[in-house]
Chains A and B, each alone.
Chain A
Amino acid sequence: MSRNLVAENWRLERSRYLLVGNKCTECEKYYFPNVQICTDCNISKLDEYVFSGKGKLIEWTKIYEVAKGFELFAPLYYGIIELEEGVRVAAQITEVTDDTKLIPGIKTQMVFRKLFEDGSQGVLTYGFKAEPQI
């Protein structure tokens, strides 16, 4: 299926490139991606928040049969990360030299990397990946 990646990357610039979410002004709960209402307080007053990118590994896998566009990275490490603010994100894990050290709980840092390619002539999509801090 065709995707309009130019438009998509422009639309998602703040979340996909800059890790911008938001924070409830009442209960201080963090959200990523940003939400329109705080589901805990049912209020719509939230402030923009830039996540630090510091987090820890929750779980991971090594994907051998990668999705279209990700052939460059195959096989790729993929994981669920809990940021220090308490929200969870999913991302490729980069700079893995020894996967026996990928133990749930280790510290990670979100970094800006190329995410996938839309063919050899297509748009390159960038975004965040998680780098283990071992």
Chain B
Amino acid sequence: MIAGYGHTKFGDLGRVTSRELVVAATIEALEMTNLNRNQIDSIYLGMLSPDIFEHQMHAAPGIPDYLGLNHTPSTRIEAACASGGLSVLHGIMAVASGFHDVVLSVGAEKMTNLPTSHTTEALAMCADDIYEVASGITFPGAFAMMARAHEHKYGTNAEMRASVAVKNHKHALDNELAQFRKELTIEKAMNSLMIADPLTLYDCSPITDGAAAVIIVPWEDRADYEGIRVKVKSFSQASDTMSLHDRNDLTGFMTTKVAARKAFDRASLQPKDIDFLEVHDCFTIAEIMAIEDMGFFEKGKGGQVTLDGETARDGHLPVNASGGLKAKGHPIGATGVSQIVEVAKQLSGNAESRQLNDVQYGMTQNLGGSGSTIVCHILERGD
């Protein structure tokens, strides 16, 4: 179960290193519990690229070092933008196996050190280097082709895509840790700078610094721990081809379908049982495809239901009440952990002004590359 969480402000955080962000999030998570840092058995660090962003390889031991925990095992997990979700998954497996009792899964990224062109280049390295990157692809370019394919097949238009951005920006108004807390209109989103046709600036998530942490302990021992009680109901992971062009269908991700199915099966739950979602809206079209591929809406209807408000905070299935990657920000390694933190906040009644009423199950979907890695989690309110 999740016993505690920590989450730094997301944004351009200036003169700070990723390990300082990690320590800040970790201390906050520990303070929710009755644990002190010496009780952490193992650390899983989700981080895309301390090497490119901060010229630091072998970042994992730097975390126990800066926490004053020398000799505690620490492992960095890299799975592109799914690094954070995968660090949580491995933390859960370590506890579920019975090998560890107290695990820290923490994700972070310090991205604003570099000029934007370098950051874009670093992110592009998550695609297939030889057959995609060297021919000129960018991630906005890859998702632009998916947006076009979705539009051709299902009629998902620019207004529907913009409605994802508008909704998530609106949600972020109630999240004081979010990078952007400014209302956005459909017109402004649709008329912003073209990045890769048809995706404009407001279809894309930003460059962000930040960290998020969770403390994972065995559910059976819950009586021993103070803090929150959010039960891990299931987790899943799936992989697909490195290159987008090696897949037959551009209107969704098989990985999302497979991972979501596994997560539902392992939890003995169905989509109708889930009360809210945090999904990977690195681009607006990605959220539309996610809510379809996970099985919450019929394929092709994701754009229309978003435009109709069904996934707004007051809709029947709130999606990205935190503001999502789009407005909360997307510090790569932190993102998947931040999704878990948001679900834990909602399920423990700690989401303040954006608290959803009467929620029992929340689900996450964290995506790496052009969907080459997907990680899903289902969490349950524990009393």
Contacts and interface: CB of A to CB of B under 8 A. Distances in A.
Interface in B123-181: 124-125, 130-138, 140-141, 144-145, 148-149, 152
Interface in B92-141: 117-118, 120-122, 124-125, 130-138, 140-141
A59 B145 contact: yes
Contacts, number: 98
Interface in A1-52: 1, 12, 15-16, 33
B120 A78 contact: no
Given A80-B245, A88-B245, A63 B136 contact: yes
Interface in A63-83: 63-68, 70, 73, 76, 78-81
B246 interface: yes
B243 interface: yes
A27 B134 CA distance: 31
Which interface class (under 10, 10 to 19, 20 to 34, 35 or more) fits B? 35 or more
Given A88-B245, A89-B245, A60 B145 contact: yes
Nearest to A99: B197
A61 B134 contact: no
A80 B136 contact: no
B215 interface: no
B244 interface: yes
A119 interface: no
A91 B138 contact: no
> From DSSP, what is the main secondary structure of chain B's interface residues?
helix
A63 B121 contact: no
Which interface class (under 10, 10 to 19, 20 to 34, 35 or more) fits A? 20 to 34
B245 A90 contact: yes
A68 B120 contact: yes
Given A1-B52, A16-B134, A116-B136, A65 B196 contact: yes
Contacts of B124: 67
Contact of B197 (A62, A70, A81, A104): A62
Contacts of A59: 145, 148-149, 152, 250
Given A73-B136, A90-B135, A90-B137, A61 B197 contact: yes
A78 B137 contact: yes
A58 B120 CA distance: 26
A116 B121 CA distance: 14
A67 B125 contact: no
27 contacts: A16-B134, A59-B148, A59-B152, A59-B250, A61-B196, A61-B198, A62-B196, A63-B138, A63-B144, A63-B195, A64-B194, A64-B195, A64-B197, A65-B120, A65-B196, A66-B138, A67-B121, A67-B133, A67-B136, A67-B138, A78-B145, A80-B244, A88-B245, A89-B245, A115-B136, A116-B134, A125-B134
